[in-house]
Structure 1
Amino acid sequence: MAAHEKAPFTPLRSVLYMPGSNERALEKAKGIACDALILDLEDSVAPDAKPAAREAVAAAAGSDDYGRRAVTIRVNAIGTEWHDADLVAASQAGPAAIVVPKVGSADDVAALVSAMEKAGAPDHTALWAMVETPVAILDALSIARASERLGAFVLGTNDLVKELYAEHVPGRGPILPSLHTALLAGRAAGIAVIDGVYNDVKDTEGFLAECEQGRQMGFDGKTLVHPGQVEGANAAFAPSEQAVEDARGLIGAWEDGAGAGVVTWNGRMVENLHVESARRTLAIHEAVTALGA
């Protein structure tokens, strides 16, 4: 494939789905403090509304109306009657990424990237693959490594639960192995991994608990179904003040002890891996701070 630019690091704490057929929602999204938007042409759009939604979403993604938010477009799945036209329109609009449902193999990725490039997708437009089927989980590593244009996995936890004949339960025990597998593959390939949605928009306590779980597991952020979930996701997936202070202290001790052999900080031994983690914490903190500036 043709070489393309790697986008600078962008926080993806809160990734909000917005229906592409709802003009009011597209307008409202301009003022929502999420890190990224997924302008949706799939589940939230009725079949007879898809052509008009495609036009509206392409115009929105191609504008400068959304400020610092990463604007992406979710097209309809491979094999549907709308997919090809969606992919062409999205590629020509040049969003931050094109989100594709039910990607199931490395061959799918190769075909999508080829189609994006044929349609004229600019170098900055990444592919985000939705991982939401058993076959995608089992083939996650080959999918993650299939193309340099692949920038993220987006977990489709509702579809995954359905396809496993599992149940939605607090703590997500039935799908934890699948979530871990996707995370392992994403980290091995060096791409972002975004957690699935929390369905009950009125259950704030449950939502925040799932955000905390996702952060502890290692997700970069969470997909959201309601603007009211943005603030909680932003807080959950940003380093705390204490974490930032600890990172600075650890890095300072490491730099002061350069060449000393053994470095300790706050009573514990510091190794290079701890320093790398601390630097990542500060990089996230600085990027989040810049977004709010």
Structure 2
Amino acid sequence: MPQTGYIYVPAPSKENLEIGLNAGLWGWRSSALDRAGARHAVRRLVKGDFLLLGHRGPNSRVAPGGWADAVLQRVIIAQISRPLFDATDRVWPDDTYPERIGIDVLDEESDVGSTSLGADAMEALRLSANKQGAAVVTAGAAAVASLAAGLPPVQDQHVADDLDHDGDTSAVAQVLVRREQQKLRRALIRGRATTTCGFCGRTLPSRFIRAAHIKRRSQASRQERLNVSNIIPACLIGCDELFEHGYIYVTTDGTIAAGPRSSATSDLKQIADTLAGRVVGDFGTHRAEFFRWHREHTASIGA
């Protein structure tokens, strides 16, 4: 059974929160974990467990249950990618925070309260706020599941992107990753009825277009995942699969080329060759580094 760690991040730590999310890390001063078994609680968190970070809530110096009607301006849901470890390299500007965990951010929502999370989760966050941000760990993932189940839809219910997530098979994690990708798709499609594929150039009903990561999501930082320059419209008629698995790639000048893997069968090579020589849609310096990563890691073509 997965566990959930609850961490409250106060308003003055906004910069540290952003740095940690972008670095895929969260850390504590050792003094914060020296108290009342806090380090033992964090050590219980293993890879695949959930972490729920709350930010900008009301005064925590209230009686137990005093956050039953509270609203948090930000709630971030992540999974543990690396259990507690020690490091001394400087990540945050104000302190080392040497006791750290690795995190994979799944989703972020605003204005979240007990209606979505439940009273127990809100109380855990209140307790964390009163423990210098030490994690309060509970068995199960009921609050995360409740939040995921209650989120409003992002896009047309008939559109369902394939899941770009190399993590575990947790149904809750898949819901949240899909929601992230749907937000990116909405930003890319912008409500248009039709969209042009960036590879074959065919204009199709938008339901036939996937918002495809150029640099694979599992290998991208949080900033890269959310960067629309790392997203390209790819049609489900074939271009999405061809690009994702390296059968085609994009050269340094923006031209599509058939990759070595496309020679698996003569028919596959013929399909890839029909795209070769085309200039990919919206190619420019903002996408060049992402295409370089794809060439080297997915299509296995050197720079």
Q: Considering the TM-score relative to the shorter chain, is it more than 0.5?
A: no
Q: Which has the higher strand share?
A: 2
**Rg bigger for which structure?**
2
TM-score by length of 1: 0.27
